[in-house]
A and B are shown apart, each in its own frame.
Chain A
Amino acid sequence: MSHARTTRRVLAAAATFGALLVTAACSSSASPSASGSAAGGVNWDERGPITYAQGKDTAGVWKGVLDQWNAAHPNEQVTFVELSPEADQQRADMIKRGQAKSGEFSVMSVDVVWTSEFAANGFLQELPADKFPTTGMLKSAVDASTYFNKLYAYPQGSDGAMLYYRKDLLDKAGLQPPKTWDEMQAACDKVLPDQKGMSCYAGQHQKYEGLTCNIAEAVNSAGGEFITADGKPAVNTPEAIAGLQWMVDGFKTGMIPADAITWKEEEGRQAFQDGKLLFHRNWPYVWNLASKTDGSSKVAGKFAVAPLPGKTGPGVSTLGGHNIGISAFTKNKGTAGDFIKFIASEPIQKTFLEKGSLAPILESLYADPALNKQFPYLSTLGESIKTAKARPKAVKYGDVTLAIQDATYSALQKQVEPAAAFGDLQTKLEGLLK
């Protein structure tokens, strides 16, 4: 009997190993073949229905836009596929389809920082320059859609950060909005003693993607950069370290309130709306919410926006926004190509701005006087975006941003000195951007 038991056990073990071998045999060895995303050999005449995938349409503007297209193209309907409102989840969903070589999402709304990763992995269809011109588009936005000098997506919507400030208090003190960090500190020194419970400045300093945006602004505004134009890390410079030092000193001296180290966009907005901040760095969405007169905002009508201040002159914002790209594996690329041109066209970009407060990617719209009247922050936003710098373009962007956050957050939590933090970061980035 015990023999039978042992035999059974051996059989079970053998079966397991066999299964493992079988699955191992079904492997594919590394092949240097690129997936069919090269510009040649693509059928740009195939037309038919497609899908468009993006995160939740929080502004409620896409239904109208899609209805417009669908009415004009009865045989090439576009179906809206709603993804999670969280960026990470959207990226995971798109990657799953890409890895499975599935064209389930014909056209996708790709965050500017994912474009390099998606392009390198062959998920995005390369767009030949002759068929897809980029005239009239913001240069920074086009740059964020390019990888290895080839266009992989059209800019769809942009975003830049601005400095919100208490106009009423600055006017009372006879001050202009600051253009440099020193001017901002001077304004705080003058105004704050009369204000109870108000701090000078806060951005987003929690350990997440927003921190990368903020530290990129600090570094770029101090004259440094994370990577050079030819893609080599260069963060171990005095200018870059000065940017980090500014933020670290801000916490040390109390210019930035201590609990701001746990703040994302919402916490900062709440503090500004409650009158607890004199200056606040945030995205354009805050304008509408802080202007509400239903009692939720104590600063309605009392604030204005300005471009970010820098170390010795005007500062540099981080480029936000999305690109609209075509999946390398979808059918009906002809329709998809026309659709993304439709989205990047002036009437639709204007609709995005008017109905959804989404920053357009066409330069002309920022100078439009009627739009400027409707959106008082529009010209500041345009300035901010025009001079904005993208975050490091890297295929392994997830690792790069985590390394940047590691260095910055440990410096802010006083665990490491800024110079040492960026020294380590330089080494890490060299390894990641090889």
Chain B
Amino acid sequence: MSQGTATTLAGNTPPITRKPKKNLLSDGQGTLAAILISPTMLVILFVVGIPILLSLRESVFLKATAVDPVTGLIPEGESFVGLGNFTDIFNNPQVVQGAWGPMDRLVNSFVNVTFFTVVCVVLETILGVAMALIMARAFRGKGFVRAAILIPWAIPTVVSARMWGLIFDSNGVMNAILGQKILWLADNSYSQMAIVIADVWKTAPFIGLLTLAGLQTIPADVYEAARVDGANAWQQFVRITLPMVKPALVVAVLFRTLDTMRMFDLPWAMVGPGKYYVETTSILAYVENNQLRYGSAAAYSLVLFAYIVVVAFLFVKLLGADVIGDDESRALTAQRKRQKELAKASNQKVKLARSTITSGEGQS
């Protein structure tokens, strides 16, 4: 199928002798696309873009907090401090005693975020994949189990946090079952455990679902062939299951990671504010807001956002998370790579393709 933009791999552009045939479905639809996508983008600009800009602005200002010694009143207004809010943690560390020793409160919150993300995501992935494996092999009762799996996802986080708060009460049922008097809701490593347990409970089934869907796309013949070839269960798992489930699993794990890094509801509602063992950066930003320090609150949340972007970037580059997953983007990238190599080889300037066909065939 011919395209509108005439690029060739041969290196010399043939003269265009006839008007290119219009592909109604995917030719020159830029205007239509703009019309269709602009309401969405406008709304996103309004409710996400503008607040982000305002947050950026807030983060470079500092509100006056000095009390006038005569009247006792605080002067109004803010002053521009540039990156002052960000470098403040180095000049004015607020040392707290967290799970990792005494350190600045912001750094402590970041370490907590990292800890929770790593532990929760690893646990929920292992549990979720295990659930998926079990469910994939069962013959009956799948519907029932699938429905049960959706229950943790359907319960609002606030309700779930209260529910777990009751369970983890020092006189609650968890201690009754364990026969111990563990102080889950104090400020210690048990509080961290409580949060991990409550979070993994809610999210492992979600990963299980996504993995199960990925598992169900693997044809049974592949396993059959491997079994005939003498592979045992573990080898089948590592060599067949994991690689084929990897794309879906990596995307699921990526989204879970992004969510866990922003964790706020669970530690706030279950353990409470002011507990440095479980204070995440989201909680710290919220608390700073309550103390009327809007500049540092905005700065902290933006640093968290930067951290999240870095992690997402690593996921995409290192683990190959195919987030966009668009055939066209993939084909376009491949095509442009080919064009660049060709141009380098033949020492010619090249006009890089802007887009390819969406139909999924079309190799140019």
Contact = CB atoms under 8 A, between A and B. Distances in A.
Tell me, yes or no, whether A and B come into direct contact in the complex with CB atoms closer than 8 A. yes
Interface of A: 1-2, 16, 19-20, 23-24, 27-35, 37, 88, 91-92, 95, 99, 119-122, 147-148, 150, 206-208, 258-259, 261-263, 267, 270, 395-396, 398-399, 402, 405-406, 409-410, 413, 415-416
A24 B61 CA distance: 9
B292 A95 contact: yes
Interface stretch (B76-84, B210-218, B235-243): B76-84
Nearest to B354: A1
Contacts of A270: 171
Contacts of B275: 207
Interface string B56-82: 110011001101100111111111100
B343 to A, nearest CB: 12
Given A23-B53, A398-B291, A148 B71 contact: yes
A121 B54 contact: no
A207 B271 CA distance: 10
Which has the most chain A C-beta neighbours within 10 Å: B61, B73, B80, B170? Answer: B73
Given A1-B352, A147-B72, A398-B290, A30 B183 contact: no
Nearest to A2: B352
B27 interface: no
* Nearest 9 pairs of A and B residues by beta carbon: A148-B72, A259-B170, A30-B77, A23-B57, A32-B75, A34-B73, A28-B77, A30-B79, A262-B185
B181 interface: yes
Contact of B56 (A20, A29, A150): A20
A38 B237 CA distance: 76
Contacts of B61: 27
Contacts, number: 118
A410 B102 CA distance: 12
Contacts of A409: 187
Contact of B76 (A31, A91, A148): A31
Contacts of A1: 351-352, 354
Interface string B144-181: 00000000000000000000000001110000000001
B76 A402 contact: no
Interface of B: 53-54, 56-57, 60-61, 64-65, 67-68, 71-80, 96-97, 169-171, 181, 183-188, 272, 274-276, 290-292, 351-352, 354
Given A28-B77, A259-B171, 17 more contacts: A1-B354, A19-B53, A30-B76, A32-B75, A33-B75, A34-B68, A34-B71, A119-B72, A121-B74, A122-B74, A259-B183, A262-B170, A262-B183, A262-B186, A405-B274, A406-B276, A415-B97
Contact of B53 (A20, A88, A206, A395): A20
Nearest to A117: B292
Nearest to A259: B170
A259 B291 contact: no
Nearest to B353: A1
A1 B274 CA distance: 55
A32 to B, nearest CB: 5
A27 B177 CA distance: 58
B78 A28 contact: yes
Given A24-B80, A207-B272, A395-B67, A413 B354 contact: no
A207 B274 contact: yes
A29 B274 contact: no
B201 to A, nearest CB: 21
Contact of B77 (A2, A31, A150): A31
Contacts of A19: 53
Which has the most chain B C-beta neighbours within 10 Å: A33, A119, A120? Answer: A120
13 contacts: A2-B352, A23-B57, A24-B57, A30-B77, A33-B75, A34-B68, A120-B74, A121-B73, A207-B274, A258-B181, A259-B170, A267-B171, A409-B187
Contacts of A206: 185-186, 272
Contacts of B290: 88, 91-92, 95, 398
